[in-house]
Structure 1
Amino acid sequence: MHQPPSPPVLYSFDSTNELTEKLADFIVKAQTEAVSKKGRFTVALSGGSLPKQLNKLIDNPAVKWDRWQVFFADERCVPLDDDDSNYNLCQKELFSKVPIPEQNIHPIDVSLLDDLEELADAYEKALISEFAQKDSARFPVFDLILLGIGPDGHTCSLFPDHELLTEEDRWVAYIENSPKPPPRRITLTFPVLNHSLRVVFVAAGESKAEILSTILDNPEAGLPASRVKPSHPGQVYWYVDNAASAKVKYQKSEYRL
């Protein structure tokens, strides 16, 4: 029987530098646990400001890059060297600076850009080959999904009031009418997000203060980021700085790894 989701854990730090240091510590701990249990660490990354916030991993000797399997929480349906590509952003900010084997990174198949349904299906098949044969679960169970939030409360490419919010079966869905450019994208769905062992939202700066308050203090508004609630033993964490959490009434947790 599914236990109800645990409430989010909110950690707020004095500076972005402290936030990124503590985030790196958390990621390394999650990696170490996953590798000791099953020999690999499955991660989904998003774009935006997130790849830059992983900079404290770059020279960290505790990171076992050869054990990482990296997927994308969402991706813009553009060539991999396009400025809009999340893969490209992660490549510039992270992958090009660390010894991660190329075969451990799973970008979209750009030969399928003309057919979004086929592109989403192919990405789902890549997930199936990584997860279904090894874990035999109905949905993939990521060790860690790292997400950002948009000013409208969207996360991944799951936007407010969009029909994708009700998707219950597919692991990967496509969207042709994203309210934020570029319009064509693929995204992990809520069932995947909500089967993850850990979801970490990262938000920094006063521009996030208003939306962070709505997401955490008013979850019944139903913004996409508020709907990320992994079932037990999964857990949502918020790693934010004090500028982002300035308007939040939700109880902050004392930081502990």
Structure 2
Amino acid sequence: MAAVHNPPSAPILISFPDPDALVDSLASFIVKAQKDSVDKKGRFTIALSGGSLPKMLRGLINNPAVKWNKWQVYYVDERVVPLDHPDSNHRACTEHLFSKVPIPSENIHPLDPSLLNDLEDLSDSYEKELIREFAQKDSARFPVFDLILLGMGPDGHTASLFPGHELLSEEDRWVAYVDDSPKPPPKRITFTYPVINHAARVAFVAAGKEKADTLKSILDDPEAGLPSARVRPVFPGQLYWFVDDAAAEKVVYPRTPFKL
């Protein structure tokens, strides 16, 4: 009998009048994902991006519903720089979130700073971090994160998956490296699409009118193939777009009211 392949679910676009409203609802969404996961299996696995995303997580600070001791945090991608470098996604997340909340340090999984000079060893090391978390607890071919949070660049890239790059077609590795990023710094490690698309929930966060043309292309013309449009979680995973009205002003794609 031929295998049945379920098509990905349609993205859910949720637009808010301003970034503050987005921040509050995003925090509620994350807390709901956490509760569902902790109730089901006693832990919450989440992967974060850098860029403007860490600032958008401020709604989690002083939020009594967050069970920080149940979180296991990974990075969707990371710049190959020291952890305290201004370009480090880990530094950004620490400054804007982790330094302000009681999350155990051992629950945060940055890259190994001793391997910065060897991209292959560095990406292999981070893949082993994922294997330690997922391989003993889940039986899937790829890790199944409870939630992956993504940003979107003006060129439509997400994580460190850039237009026209060979990694767009990677189907086996969980973590891969980039040594020729068109956006500095050039050296990075990144989750691949199979990891991103096996998550239970994936949520893009985008705000500002400078995102309007790219967001329209991704949602209204997904076959154009921009990297962010290739994020299509496999069933029963679900894709969400949390945006403000400025980012969504040119989008024809239907919007969905926010509800938990």
TM-score by length of 2: 0.98
- 1:247 matches 2:242: no
- 1:139 matches 2:174: no
1:255, distance to aligned residue in structure 2 (A):
1.7
Partner residue of 1:172? 175
Residues in 1 aligned to 2:231 and 2:134: alpha-carbon distance in whole angstroms: 20
**What value does the CA root-mean-square deviation take over the aligned residues?**
0.5
Partner residue of 1:43? 46
Partner residue of 1:230? 233
SS at match of 1:122: helix
Partner residue of 2:18? 15
Identity percentage over the alignment? 67
Residues in 2 aligned to 1:216 and 1:170: alpha-carbon distance in whole angstroms: 27
Residues in 2 aligned to 1:133 and 1:57: alpha-carbon distance in whole angstroms: 29
Q: 1:66 aligns with which of 65, 69, 72?
A: 69
Residues in 1 aligned to 2:121 and 2:194: alpha-carbon distance in whole angstroms: 20
Give the 5 Å matches for 1:1-257: 1-257=4-260
1:71, distance to aligned residue in structure 2 (A):
0.1
1:254, distance to aligned residue in structure 2 (A):
1.8
Aligned residue pairs: how many?
Answer: 257
Q: Which amino acid aligns with 2:87?
A: D
Deviations, residues 223-248 of structure 1 (Å, cap 9, x unaligned): 01000001111010000000000000
Residues in 2 aligned to 1:100 and 1:70: alpha-carbon distance in whole angstroms: 10
Residues in 2 aligned to 1:117 and 1:2: alpha-carbon distance in whole angstroms: 33
4+ runs of 1 displaced by more than 2 Å? none
Residues in 1 aligned to 2:138 and 2:100: alpha-carbon distance in whole angstroms: 31
Q: Which runs of 5+ in 1 are unaligned?
A: none
TM-score by length of 1: 0.99
Deviations, residues 189-224 of structure 1 (Å, cap 9, x unaligned): 000011000000000010111100011011010001
Q: Which runs of 5+ in 2 are unaligned?
A: none
